[in-house]
Amino acid sequence: MTERDIILNELAQSLRPMAQGIEWFDTHGPKEQAEILVFLRHHCVQARAVTEDGPESIRRAGLRPTHTPAVLITRGPIDQQLGKIASLAPADERRKAFRLLVAVLAVADERRREHFCCGGCGHWWHNLPIADS
């Protein structure tokens, strides 16, 4: 488990405010941001994100339906779309992609907790303390 793992899971679980997450994301250069987005995409897949998670994720991310990441997530198989979202290059699109992928992770992981971890589990990310603000 890395600091990045912890921060992303804290954001997805609302244990850390998104404003703090954006601030953290912005401290990284374009190459590192791209790596973070690919990493987030992987987490979304691992959490079993489905196409139906798109609209709720857009809402939680606070994106307009016309923003590029929001359009992408509603257009086709989720695995392919998450990859396209993670590869967005302009800085403002990367920020939107970050917010959306964190929201997708949140929606998918909530469902995972309800269905697979409701009786308890050993996932370290399901036992995080509240982050220091």
Instruction: Give yes or no for residue 131 having a pLDDT over 70.
Output: no
Residue 117 pLDDT: 60
Q: Where are the domains of the chain?
A: 3-113
Condensed to tens digits (0 to 9), the pLDDT of residues 24-54 reads 999 999 999 999 999 999 999 999 999 999 9
Q: Whole-angstrom Cα distance, residue 128 to residue 25? A: 20
Q: What's the token pair of residue 29?
A: 């250069």
Contact 47, 108 (CB under 8 A): yes
Q: Which of 17-31, 42-56, 118-132 has the weakest average pLDDT?
A: 118-132
Q: What are phi and psi of 49, to 5 degrees?
A: -60, 145
Residue 1 pLDDT: 75
Specify the higher pLDDT residue, 84 or 114. Answer: 84
Q: Is the pTM of this model over 0.85?
A: yes
